[in-house]
């Protein structure tokens, strides 16, 4: 699984390989310059100690290489001048090394954040194509965690981890070259301890991978809880459940803490393990260098110091390299969760031969059925809506009314049967063109955390202010919008919390009016409103319905009495149909629903 995830992640990073290679080149130059400083350091130490000239007879292969490289700079110079030149050369090397390192770091950051942006956009785009049932089964916080946290952590696999891997590998190789030039035996003794570190790190990684997955799952659940509960703040306060929620959140936070501690326990253990290893190596070098019989050569003090300095420089990349599997394990675990979302099948995909939708005659349901998993919601429903007519759908709660309406804009496709627009099955039409013909107003009005203007113009983002104002007037929304602090530029807050239910409904009606669709779907648009709000909303709906083809679901039967046809649903089937008066005279379910709503009011009157 891990290699497949890595390949997919690298494919996402393909546009950045050129930039990544340039950054890697800079870091490699920095690594090489880091090793060259030791070549300069040994003759500088000779000059400072006064034991010999900077270019004295070499005793090791590295000194011979150093003399050959530095002779153009030091030839003919006295010890004082040679020392000055070596210090200047060392400072120049350090400056260049850090300039290359800085450039490589900045390029790496650009690649990392570009990758994260692309991965987030890819995931967000894909989520918008998944079947709506997925969002009903999945907690919102899990998705937020995937888009924000997991996508961000995935970047470590391609950039930080891999960049660091190659940079440190070059540092180690250049260090080994220099160390071997001093004493290959001492270098071999130093390297003999490396398997201890590798085996220790591998043992830690096995546990780290398991705990990292569990920690990420707990993080997603914690995000879900925060998102859900903050959205239900009125419910919590209204029922006095603050202490209950605090206790539950504290318990969940503690579970997250325990998972994180377990993960960090193994992740951070790599540092002390590497530190102990580094200390062991330094002690071993000092012991071996002080015993010529062990390494087969007598090292001068400046060469011994150079060897120790290079060995110490090599410890950092060895430690970083030993932690590379840890970083990769965490990054690939996060990427695996992101790709799990991306691998969910998309439902919002048009057929290759789909054609643009047109509406001139009618909308026909032909023996349509729909089910969620194994639960039948709509069964064998057939009816026609001629252009310009109003068809109302009524029935008890759970009869399948809303689901039936959701089949028209293809939020779902029928499990059986067919819906046709002007004789063309909806599945043969492009979704975008079909939805351009439809306006939606439902009970659960969606108002975004944006301005009034942006909310009304959501379906027509290029609409002018005058067009938005006219739509607001027609929706009985202009007066209350004018009283808001910034008028049409007022931010409405998350979920439109600054507005009442009736005001949100009128914003939604204004949105539909501005879109000016030929087909209108109204789903319980006046339910749960007080009398005055209902009157204003109903007036706006009446204007909205003029000269349109309308499918309307209404709990309050008074709002559908003038429909051209009323369909009565029960358990997903049409059991009655006809105009209002005919259904009343029939004395069936419609009459019973009507009597339940109006008999008491009529008797009181």
| Confidence label for 551 from pLDDT (cuts 50, 70 and 90) | very high
Task: Please state the three-class secondary structure of 275-299 as a single string.
Answer: HHHHHHHHHHHHHHHCCHHHHCCCC
pLDDT for residue 361? 92
pLDDT for residue 365? 94
| Mean pLDDT (whole number) for 47-69 | 60
Backbone angles phi, psi at 450, to 5 degrees: -150, -175
Map out the domains of the chain as residue ranges.
2-342, 362-604
| Mean pLDDT (whole number) for 132-148 | 75
pLDDT for residue 67? 66
Q: Which residue has the higher pLDDT, 225 or 437?
A: 437
* Residue 465 in tokens: 């202010």
Biggest alpha carbon distance in the chain? 121
Q: Which residue has the higher pLDDT, 22 or 157?
A: 22
Is 311's pLDDT higher than 60? yes
Is 604's pLDDT higher than 50? no
Residues contacting 294, CB < 8 A, separation 6+: 185, 189, 288
| Confidence label for 56 from pLDDT (cuts 50, 70 and 90) | low
- Which CATH code, of 1.20.1560.10, 1.10.260.40, 3.10.450.230, 1.10.10.10, is assigned to 2-342? 1.20.1560.10
DSSP state of 429: B
Q: Which residue has the higher pLDDT, 404 or 262?
A: 404
Q: What are the beta bridge partners of residue 416?
A: 369
Is 438's pLDDT higher than 70? yes
Write down the CATH number for the domain with range 362-604. Answer: 3.40.50.300
pLDDT for residue 117? 87
- Sheet with 549-553: list strands edge to edge: 438-442, 519-523, 549-553, 390-394, 565-570, 573-578
pLDDT for residue 602? 47
CA atoms within 13 A on the CB side of 286: 7
pLDDT for residue 369? 94
| Mean pLDDT (whole number) for 531-559 | 78
- What are 249-261's pLDDT values in tens digits? 888 888 888 777 7
pLDDT for residue 557? 77
């Amino acid at each position: 699984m891990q290699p497949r995830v890595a390949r997919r992640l690298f494919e996402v990073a393909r546009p950045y390989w050129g930039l990544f290679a340039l950054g890697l080149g800079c870091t490699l130059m920095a690594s090489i310059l880091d090793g060259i400083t030791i070549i300069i350091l040994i003759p500088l130490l000779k000059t400072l100690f006064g034991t010999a000239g900077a270019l004295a007879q070499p005793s090791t292969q590295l000194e011979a290489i150093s003399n050959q490289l530095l002779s153009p700079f030091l030839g003919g110079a006295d010890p004082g001048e040679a020392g000055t030149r070596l210090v200047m050369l060392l400072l120049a090397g350090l400056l260049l090394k850090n300039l290359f390192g800085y450039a490589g770091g900045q390029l790496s950051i650009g690649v990392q954040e570009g990758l994260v942006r692309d991965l987030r956009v890819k995931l967000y785009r894909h989520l918008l194509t998944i079947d709506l049932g997925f969002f009903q089964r999945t907690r919102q916080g899990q998705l937020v965690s995937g888009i924000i946290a997991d996508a961000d952590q995935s970047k470590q696999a391609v950039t930080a981890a891999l960049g660091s891997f190659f940079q440190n590998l070059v540092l180690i190789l250049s260090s080994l070259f220099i160390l071997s030039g001093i004493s290959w035996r001492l270098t071999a003794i130093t390297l003999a301890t490396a398997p201890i570190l590798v085996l220790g790190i591998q043992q830690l990684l096995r546990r780290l991978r398991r705990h990292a997955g569990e920690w990420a799952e707990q993080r997603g659940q914690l995000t879900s809880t925060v998102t859900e509960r903050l959205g239900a703040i009125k419910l919590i306060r209204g029922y006095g459940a603050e202490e209950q929620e605090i206790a539950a959140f504290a318990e969940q936070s503690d579970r997250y803490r325990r998972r994180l501690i377990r993960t960090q326990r193994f992740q951070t253990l790599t540092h002390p393990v590497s530190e102990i290893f580094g200390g062991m190596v330094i002690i071993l070098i000092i012991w071996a260098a002080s015993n010529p019989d062990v390494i087969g050569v007598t090292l001068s003090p400046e060469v011994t110091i150079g060897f120790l300095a290079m060995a110490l420089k090599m410890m950092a990349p060895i430690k970083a390299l030993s932690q590379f599997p840890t970083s990769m394990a965490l990054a690939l675990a996060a990427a695996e969760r992101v790709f799990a979302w991306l691998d969910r099948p998309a439902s919002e995909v048009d057929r290759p031969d789909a054609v643009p939708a047109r509406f001139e005659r009618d909308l026909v349901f032909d023996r349509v059925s729909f089910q969620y998993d194994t639960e039948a919601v709509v069964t064998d429903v057939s009816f026609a809506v001629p252009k310009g007519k109003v068809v109302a759908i009524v029935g008890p709660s759970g009869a399948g009314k809303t689901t039936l309406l959701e089949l028209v804009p293809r939020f779902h496709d029928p499990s059986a049967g067919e819906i046709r627009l002007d004789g063309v099955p909806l599945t043969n039409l492009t979704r975008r063109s079909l939805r351009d013909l439809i306006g939606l107003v439902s009970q659960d009005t969606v108002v975004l955390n944006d301005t009034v203007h942006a909310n009304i113009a959501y379906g027509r983002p290029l609409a002018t202010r005058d067009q938005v104002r006219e739509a607001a007037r027609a929706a009985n929304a202009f007066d209350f919008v004018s009283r808001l602090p910034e008028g049409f530029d007022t931010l409405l807050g998350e979920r439109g919390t600054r507005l009442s239910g009736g005001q949100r409904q009128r914003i939604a009606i204004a949105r539909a009016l501005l879109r000016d669709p030929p087909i209108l779907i109204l789903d319980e648009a006046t339910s749960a409103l007080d009398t005055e709000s209902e009157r204003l909303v109903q007036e706006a709906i009446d204007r909205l319905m003029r000269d349109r083809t309308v499918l309307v679901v209404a709990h309050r039967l008074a709002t559908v009495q003038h429909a051209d046809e009323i369909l009565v649903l029960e358990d997903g089937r049409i059991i009655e149909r006809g105009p209002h008066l005919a259904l009343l005279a029939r004395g069936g379910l419609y009459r019973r629903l009507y009597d339940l709503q109006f008999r008491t009011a009529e008797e009181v009157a």
